[in-house]
């Protein structure tokens, strides 16, 4: 799904934009939870929220439970609710059988490169759209927004042929290149820089004789760091979880994690507990990321949204 368009589409129709956070406190405000006005939550709210959290987390917990049992136990009723003894055994099997080690490395490379390049090009273009004056700027910006209507999936057939022609069939470049840039990212960075980067700073830089690249490097980049980090993480999550095109472009000998997981499930001799172990393993890196950066990711998503 391409819900990552949210922050941008919202702003694409500037008319309905409700608010702009003030220049300096924007990020901090959303990073600090509960910053809004509002009533204190009553017990009912806590119960409901607790339920929502439970529903959100339980399937993941149960993945772990299923991954730690064996095939017989997992297919009995009542289903298991407590972890069994086979977690590490199943993880090891999944790791070997589904080439998950390779898949994780591949996903790390794919998501890492895509996120890096998206952030870099988005900052570059976002800066140009936000602060540089050039002919056709508005039309080009509209074009950027328009591209969001063209999900790369719709081009799978020729993409597939192109990759074959380029000799990239079943290799990582075939999934990296089509997603090296993102319109969402460009828009996101443009919105941030429009507000967070004072024109005076650029003027001052120009007076010092700095050329645009230099201004970009020594003025824009330092200021843009927080949204770049946010964009990096969100792009990383999306690239890691991307499915349709990698599923078509890659195969089981050189998969990303989601592709490897489908292979794991489509087997003759797979155990359900091993499949669950694979699902768990493939999700762990992102869960770890959420554990460490959860607050920043939440802030990032909300920061994007505030602009809508």
Partner 1 sequence: MATSIDPRQSRRTILHRLDLGAVPYAFIAPFFLIFGAFGLYPLLYTFWISLHRVELSSLDTMEWRGLANFTELFEDDRFWNALSNTFTIGVLSTVPQLLMALGLAHLLNYRLRGSVFFRVAVLTPYATSVAAAALVFTMLFERDFGMINWVLGFFGVDNLDWESQKWPAQFAISTIVIWRWTGYNALLYLAAMQAIPRDLYEAAAIDGASRWQQFRTVTVPGISATIVFTIVLSTIGATQLFGEPLIFGQGPNGISGGADNQYQTLGLLLYEEGWKNYQMGRASAIAWAMFLILILVFVLQRVLARVLSRTPRPAKAPRRARPSRTS
Partner 2 sequence: MGTARKRFGSTFVSATALAVSLVLVAGCGSGDDGGKARTKDGKTVISLGLFGVMGYKETDLLDRYMKENPDVTIETDVAGDEQTYYTALQTHLAAGSGLKDIQGIEIGRAKELVDTQADKFADLGKTPGTDHFLPWKSSQVTTGDGKVIGLGTDIGPMAVCYRKDLFEQAGLPTDRAEVAKLWEGDWAKYVDVGRTFKQGTKNPKVAYMDTSTGLFNAMIYGEDKQFYDEDGKLIYQDNPVVKDAWKLASDAATSGLTAKLRQFQPGWDPGLANGTFATAVCPAWMLAHISEKAGPANKGKWDVAKAPKGANWGGSFLGVMEDSPVKKQAEKLVAWLTAPEQQAYIFEKLGNFPSSKTALDMPAVANGTSPYFSDAPIGQIFGAAAKEIPAKQVLGRKDGTIKDTFSLGLQLIEAQGKSPDAAWKTTDERIQKLTR
Contact call for residues 151 and 2 (beta carbons, < 8 A): yes
115 binds partner 2 per the rule CB under 8 A: yes
6 binds partner 1 per the rule CB under 8 A: yes
Contact call for residues 193 and 220 (beta carbons, < 8 A): yes
| CB neighbour list of residue 65: distance below 8 Å, 6 or more residues apart | 80, 81, 82, 83, 84
Q: Which residue among 123, 179, 235, 272 contacts partner 2 (CB under 8 A)?
A: 272
79/146 with CB nearer partner 2: 79
302 binds, among partner 1, partner 2, none (CB under 5 to 8 A by kind): partner 1
195/308 with CB nearer partner 2: 195
Interface positions, 60-89, toward partner 2 (CB under 8 A): 71-72, 75-76
76 binds partner 1 per the rule CB under 8 A: yes
Closest CA to 99 of 250, 236, 200: 250
User: In b/e form, how buried is each residue of 13-51, taking b as 16+ CB within 10 angstroms?
Assistant: eeeeeeeebeeeebbebbbeeeeeeeeeeeeeeeeeeee
Contact call for residues 25 and 226 (beta carbons, < 8 A): no
178 binds, among partner 1, partner 2, none (CB under 5 to 8 A by kind): partner 1
Rounded to the nearest 5°, which phi and psi values hold at 23?
Answer: -50, -45
Q: Which residue among 122, 141, 172, 297 contacts partner 2 (CB under 8 A)?
A: 172
List interacting residues with partner 2 (CB under 8 A): 27-28, 31-32, 71-72, 75-76, 108-109, 112-113, 115-116, 160, 163-164, 167, 169-173, 225-226, 228-229, 232, 251-254, 263-272, 275, 296
């Amino acid at each position: 799904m391409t819900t990552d368009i949210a922050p941008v589409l919202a702003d694409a129709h500037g008319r309905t934009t409700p608010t702009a956070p003030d220049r300096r406190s924007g990020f901090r405000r959303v990073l600090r939870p509960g910053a809004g006005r509002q009533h204190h939550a009553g017990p009912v709210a806590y119960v409901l929220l607790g339920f929502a959290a439970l529903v959100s987390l339980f399937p993941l917990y149960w993945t772990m439970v299923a991954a730690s049992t064996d095939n017989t136990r997992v297919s009995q009723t009542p289903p298991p609710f407590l972890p069994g003894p086979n977690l590490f055994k199943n993880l090891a099997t999944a790791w070997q059988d589904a080439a998950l080690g390779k898949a994780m490395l591949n996903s790390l490379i794919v998501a890492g490169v895509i996120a890096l390049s998206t952030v870099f090009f988005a900052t570059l273009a976002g800066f140009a759209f936000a602060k540089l004056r050039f002919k056709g700027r508005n039309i080009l910006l509209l074009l950027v927004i328009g591209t969001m209507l063209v999900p790369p999936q719709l081009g799978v057939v020729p993409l597939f042929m192109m990759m074959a022609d380029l000799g990239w069939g079943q290799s990582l470049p075939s999934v990296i290149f089509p997603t090296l840039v993102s319109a969402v990212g460009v828009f996101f960075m443009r919105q941030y820089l429009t507000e967070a980067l004072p024109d005076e700073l650029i003027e001052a830089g120009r007076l010092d004789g700095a050329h645009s690249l230099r201004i970009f490097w020594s003025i824009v980049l330092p200021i843009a760091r927080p949204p770049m980090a946010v964009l990096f993480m969100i792009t990383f999550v999306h690239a890691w979880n991307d499915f349709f095109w990698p599923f078509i472009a890659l195969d089981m000998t050189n998969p990303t994690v989601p592709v490897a997981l489908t292979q794991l499930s489509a087997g003759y001799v797979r155990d359900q507990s091993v499949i669950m172990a694979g699902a768990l393993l493939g999700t762990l890196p992102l869960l770890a990321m959420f554990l460490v950066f959860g607050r920043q990711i939440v802030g990032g998503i909300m920061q994007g949204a505030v602009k809508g």
